[in-house]
Structure 1
Amino acid sequence: MKRKAVILLLLLFVVLLSREKEAKSRTNEFFDIPGEIAYGEECLNAWQVEEAKKVAEKVRLLAPEDPHVCFFVGKVRFYEGRYEESLDFLKKAQKTPGVMQQAEEFFHFVQTIYQTASNFKEIESEHFLFRFVEEKDAILAEYALDTLESAYKVIGGDLGYFPREKILVEVYPDAESFCTISTLTQKEIETSGAVAICLFNRLIITSPRLQPRGYEWLDTLAHEYVHYVIMKKTYNRVPVWLHEGLAKYEENRWIDDNSPTLPVSLESLLAEAVEKNYFITFEQMHPSLAKLEKREDTALAFAQVFTSIEYLYHLGGYPLITAILDEIKNGMDAKEALSSATGVPFNTFEENYLQYLKQKNLRRVHGIKILPTILKESSTIVDDLESVAEIEVKEAKKFAILGDLLRREGLYSAAIIEYEKAFIRAKNISPQIQNKLAMAYIQDTQYSKAEEVLKTALEYYPEYTATYISLGELYQRTGAYQTAINFLSRANRVNPFNPVVYRNLIQLYTKVEDKENAANEMRRLKMVTRFHNPTTPEMPEK
């Protein structure tokens, strides 16, 4: 009797299992897993990762071992920044000929990135997850999240979009890892100056450690955040010229009461382009400004797209700009959307824009140049020898070396004469020589001349950190302590790794009896010297 009961139970179990398999098979057929995955891929391409994630969870429940499902889920996990889970799913995907090669290639891509990402520390603010290698780049978190939250508020208001999900931001600590995740070559990076990118549902930047004097990394973070907003708002349908124009136009809006202004170096390039009737077409800018062959062409393209947005703003402000983005989001072609919003055909818009450029009376500054981008880890301080090496004209370099020797001997008036000779012979306007000359003026107590030289250097090369440090030195010596603090604080927007900045700020806050900020700068000084060479010169870099 018992034996019969056991047999009946076994038969019932087999029947139920068979029916369950049949039901699941019918559900899979009805559900159309390949179709769902195709839709999920479209969501990833449109930067709608939350929707792609829902698809991934659906298909994973129905067919957890299907290689195509595992490959798709692995991609979604990567877009979410969940590297270990991504690798686990991608491993499972490498079983079927139809998906094997793609899965293997993507697995090795993610695995290479994870060699760096596995060392990331993550901190978060209300809207951002900020990842960095702590032993190298901890100081960046001191400034980045405040900037990003400000950008979230201001840029969201400008463009009419506030992401609901937390935005992932990753700082890559070396050129090799940045090249991998950005999919750019080092040559493309150094030619174009592309030190950051918005890709794979995140903001990606290189550490400012990788350039001797850093770069305007906080503005760059905001620039890439603009790209993120546009991707999300428009389902990734905006052409490169409009994308880059908005990002360039908005990149320093995070600073209080800041109106977009074209840097002098770009204005000068654009003035020359107007004179010569040489422009980079919108078509040439596709698929990326980083793909242009010359650094000057990339810079000119940025100048053009900035002023194209400036022109749109002139026509109708942010309501016009957001109307264009909304039309693109709803499926309209970008040219048609612009024509619809402006009331003129796209060709007419281009003609009117060029006329607008010609009427701007753009200033051409002879001798100004685009500073090079070289990604390599180096000292956080640039000394006299290194700054002289950056001077391109041999005769100018000779006089600068002589000026350095005289200044170190305390012969400031004689050093000034040599630096002035160097400046004349340099042909290009050299921020290296300008700072050397200004420091000699400061040490010779010719403060008004030093201020004039440094203000010019700052106007022409706002990305040159030494100028902020020299201005801090000037105003500290003249007793304008708060002005000195302001300039030194601005230096950290370019290079937050220079111990001289923190030491000078500690002195200044001590002079104005601000113990709290003096203690903050002391804490930051310890952060940047803990993992870097603590030996620094007494005088600011030149």
Structure 2
Amino acid sequence: MKPFLIMITLSLPSVSFGGVENRVHQLLNQWRTAEAAKEAEALLATMPDLPAIQEAAARVKFFQGRYEDALDLLRRARAAAKRDSPLLPLIQATYEETRDHVAYAGKHFTVHVPPGPDQVLADYLIEALEEALARHGPRFGVTVKEPIRVEVYPSLESFARISTLSLEAIKTSGTIALCKFDRLMLVTPRVTLRGYDWLDTASHELIHLLISRRSHNTVPVWLHEGLAKYHESGWRGDYGEPLAPYSAELLAKAIQKDELISFARMSPSMALLPSQEATATAFAEVKTAIEYMLEKKGDGVVIGLLDSIREGRGQLDPAFKNLFQTDLQGFERSWAKWLKKRPMETVSGARKLALEFGENRSSADDMDPSRPDGPAGRRARLGDMLYRRGHHEAAAIEYQRAVDKAGTGYPGLVHRLADCLIASKSFEEAQKLLKKSAAQAPDDPRTWILLGRLGLRSERWQSSREAYEEANRINPFDPEVHDALAQLGIRLQDQELHQRELRAKARLQGAERPGSKEPSSNTTKDKDTAFITLISSPWAEILIDDQAIGRGTPLTDYPVSPGTHEIELRNTALGLKKRLRVTLKPGQRLHKEMTLGREKDDHDKPAK
């Protein structure tokens, strides 16, 4: 479903700290994680036992997705300060919710998904996000050097634990994705009845991340959402996709009644607007505001505006005067005047598809039972009886009579008619009906499933593929989608498509569990275990016996089995690494301090 019901929490609330570690926290608040890591690394090297420094370094590790490292630092801080850090509950919850996730690596993204059916999401997320970054990165003036972490959560309850939002707020607002803590977080479409447009949503969240990085987190909510909404579909086509029919209808009504929602009312959060309709209207407004900006100033206005706001430390009027020769209020007035003349993409019979939480259904089993009243309802129920008996041609006649009387406002009725037309080989009639249905509610996966079936039955292979891929962008848990796309890979002689869909089928069925889990350490400390402490400059990922342990430096008292081990420290971003071989006795505690490329200090601490 289009995310007009999906409220995006844009930014990390400002955190205030004092002391020498303040610069680290300022950089993190500005989404400058790499710079914050350098500051924290230097402070920790000179003051390794100061709790405030350990907490700052832990927050950096949290932003980097190294939750166990962060917890290790917070435990050390607690031992010294005799108190728990306020960061601890969130980091602990995030670690617990993600420790069993399976990791898939792309060029610029690592996708972490729960083991099981949700693994089907990984390939599609990586493919879509790589496409999105290739388009959005230059557009927003951001180059990604370190992989961006993407996390998928298996339930609303799980998402609530790590999002800082309440479960009630998530259900009320329809929040299913966030860009926060320098990473992307999504709820699996599996928790919704019919899915949602999860790949566009991932692209939307990526744009929020790019905006925050470029602007140092100074952009207001309405502009954040407008830029993300306007550009979100650009990974798969042109920027500025037309407004969804339902959103266009709401916006047209707001213009007619002179009830546009001001930009000021959208801050500090669109969640504070009085209704879901108001929220949908606001999203449509800000999307058209970006359209207006681009029409006036061209593509360069995106980076220009972000840079001006950053340089003004969040002050909007100077930025708008610089680019549009008027302050924000003047810009809003001129946009509203322009908007009244803009044609609206309204469609007769446009349907609002609510984001419904519940057990995910395959499209084949999800025919809406709602039927009209009166004579149209009697025709529809007669059609249902004929359909159940397998008389598709006769059922199609009755369904058509019902639609003629009641219109296309009953999706289940329209889909049942289309199903009968396909079964009766009335392909052109089915095509016409389904195209109209897709225009009225483009985010209903059932329509795209039927268009896919129509393409298969009429041997229009490419058309069928496009329809099934549209369905997959909404509900990837329907086995029919992957069965059909695997078959179409053969028909279209596309081996890559065929193999991708075979993997998807296997993951849905639980027959394939590829990827790599981030192992958690065994914290049992006894006489049969050895322990290693590794400190490096710069910080690095740790591999033991050629296996990534999911941890990085600084690492304290990590338990390993006695014997000989190969240890590698690797900083991929800087192209640095260090290898060493160690032999450990039971109970031994090894302490190593290194600069990658040369050893700074190397000594064993005796077992206690």
SS of 1:170's equivalent in the other structure is strand
Segment of structure 1 superposing worse, 288-297 or 159-168: 288-297
Q: CA deviation at 1:477?
A: 1.7
> In the alignment, which residue of structure 2 is the partner of 1:499?
479
> In the alignment, which residue of structure 2 is the partner of 1:338?
320
Q: CA deviation at 1:258?
A: 5.3
Q: Show the 5 A alignment for 1:57-456.
A: 57-94=41-78, 100=83, 103=85, 105-257=86-238, 259-331=240-312, 333-365=315-347, 367-376=349-358, 378-382=359-363, 384=365, 386-388=366-368, 391=370, 403-420=383-400, 423=403, 429-456=409-436
Distance 1:294-1:398 versus aligned 2 partners, 3 A rule: farther
Aligned partners of 1:122 and 1:129 also within 8 Å: yes
More helix by share: 1
User: For 1:112 and 1:400, how far apart are their aligned partners in 2?
Assistant: 51
Residue 468 (structure 1) aligned with residue 468 (structure 2): no
Aligned partners of 1:320 and 1:341 also within 8 Å: yes
Distance 1:403-1:348 versus aligned 2 partners, 3 A rule: same
> In the alignment, which residue of structure 2 is the partner of 1:36?
20
User: For 2:287 and 2:89, how far apart are their aligned partners in 1?
Assistant: 38
User: For 1:398 and 1:88, how far apart are their aligned partners in 2?
Assistant: 68
User: For 1:153 and 1:52, how far apart are their aligned partners in 2?
Assistant: 26
RMSD in angstroms over aligned alpha carbons? 2.7
User: For 2:116 and 2:53, how far apart are their aligned partners in 1?
Assistant: 38
SS of 1:215's equivalent in the other structure is coil
Q: CA deviation at 1:95?
A: 5.6
User: For 1:328 and 1:335, how far apart are their aligned partners in 2?
Assistant: 9
Q: CA deviation at 1:291?
A: 4.2
User: For 2:80 and 2:410, how far apart are their aligned partners in 1?
Assistant: 60
Q: CA deviation at 1:531?
A: 6.7
Aligned partners of 2:58 and 2:74 also within 8 Å: yes
Distance 1:59-1:258 versus aligned 2 partners, 3 A rule: closer
Aligned partners of 2:408 and 2:414 also within 8 Å: no
User: For 1:150 and 1:251, how far apart are their aligned partners in 2?
Assistant: 12
Residue 478 (structure 1) aligned with residue 478 (structure 2): no
Distance 1:515-1:405 versus aligned 2 partners, 3 A rule: farther
Aligned residues: percent identity? Answer: 34
SS of 2:368's equivalent in the other structure is helix
User: For 2:380 and 2:46, how far apart are their aligned partners in 1?
Assistant: 72
Q: CA deviation at 1:250?
A: 0.6
Q: CA deviation at 1:364?
A: 3.9
Using the size of structure 2 for normalisation, the TM-score is 0.75
User: For 2:185 and 2:353, how far apart are their aligned partners in 1?
Assistant: 22
| Structure 1 unaligned residues grouped into runs of 5+ | 1-32, 533-542
User: For 1:489 and 1:59, how far apart are their aligned partners in 2?
Assistant: 50
Distance 1:290-1:129 versus aligned 2 partners, 3 A rule: farther
User: For 1:41 and 1:513, how far apart are their aligned partners in 2?
Assistant: 53
Segment of structure 1 superposing worse, 69-78 or 267-276: 69-78
More strand by share: 2
Distance 1:199-1:428 versus aligned 2 partners, 3 A rule: farther
> In the alignment, which residue of structure 1 is the partner of 2:596?
none
Q: CA deviation at 1:228?
A: 0.4
SS of 2:352's equivalent in the other structure is coil
Distance 1:472-1:351 versus aligned 2 partners, 3 A rule: same
Distance 1:87-1:403 versus aligned 2 partners, 3 A rule: farther
Q: Which amino acid counterpart does residue 306 of structure 1 have in structure 2?
A: K
SS of 1:254's equivalent in the other structure is helix
Segment of structure 1 superposing worse, 253-262 or 173-182: 253-262
Q: CA deviation at 1:290?
A: 3.6
Aligned partners of 2:312 and 2:319 also within 8 Å: no
Deviation digits for residues 158-184 of structure 1, max 9, x if unmatched?
Answer: 222223322111111111111222222
Q: CA deviation at 1:247?
A: 0.3
Q: Which amino acid counterpart does residue 249 of structure 2 have in structure 1?
A: S
> In the alignment, which residue of structure 2 is the partner of 1:13?
none
Deviation digits for residues 367-423 of structure 1, max 9, x if unmatched?
Answer: 4343222334x2441455x5425x497778887565444223222244335544665
Q: CA deviation at 1:232?
A: 0.3
SS of 2:146's equivalent in the other structure is coil
Segment of structure 1 superposing worse, 417-426 or 200-209: 417-426
SS of 1:436's equivalent in the other structure is helix
Q: CA deviation at 1:256?
A: 4.1
Question: What is the count of residue pairs matched by the alignment?
Answer: 494
Deviation digits for residues 187-237 of structure 1, max 9, x if unmatched?
Answer: 433443321110011011111112122111111111101000000001000
SS of 1:169's equivalent in the other structure is strand
Q: Which amino acid counterpart does residue 263 of structure 1 have in structure 2?
A: A
User: For 1:93 and 1:76, how far apart are their aligned partners in 2?
Assistant: 14
Aligned partners of 1:189 and 1:290 also within 8 Å: no
Aligned partners of 1:399 and 1:421 also within 8 Å: yes
Q: CA deviation at 1:427?
A: 7.8
Aligned partners of 1:192 and 1:292 also within 8 Å: no
Aligned partners of 2:132 and 2:234 also within 8 Å: yes
SS of 1:51's equivalent in the other structure is helix
User: For 2:379 and 2:48, how far apart are their aligned partners in 1?
Assistant: 72
Q: CA deviation at 1:311?
A: 0.4
User: For 2:83 and 2:383, how far apart are their aligned partners in 1?
Assistant: 64
Q: Which amino acid counterpart does residue 31 of structure 2 have in structure 1?
A: W
User: For 1:358 and 1:491, how far apart are their aligned partners in 2?
Assistant: 34
Q: CA deviation at 1:93?
A: 3.2
User: For 1:126 and 1:515, how far apart are their aligned partners in 2?
Assistant: 22
Distance 1:404-1:518 versus aligned 2 partners, 3 A rule: farther
Q: Which amino acid counterpart does residue 487 of structure 1 have in structure 2?
A: A
SS of 2:298's equivalent in the other structure is helix
User: For 1:106 and 1:125, how far apart are their aligned partners in 2?
Assistant: 30
| Structure 2 unaligned residues grouped into runs of 5+ | 1-16, 513-608
Q: Which of the pair has the greater relative contact order for Cα pairs under 8 Å at 6+ separation?
A: 2
> In the alignment, which residue of structure 2 is the partner of 1:16?
none
Aligned partners of 2:191 and 2:360 also within 8 Å: no
Q: Name which of 28, 44, 49 aligns with 2:33.
A: 49
Q: CA deviation at 1:446?
A: 2.4
Q: Which amino acid counterpart does residue 353 of structure 1 have in structure 2?
A: W
Q: Which amino acid counterpart does residue 29 of structure 2 have in structure 1?
A: N
Segment of structure 1 superposing worse, 59-68 or 505-514: 505-514
Q: CA deviation at 1:365?
A: 4.1
Residue 525 (structure 1) aligned with residue 505 (structure 2): yes
SS of 1:462's equivalent in the other structure is coil
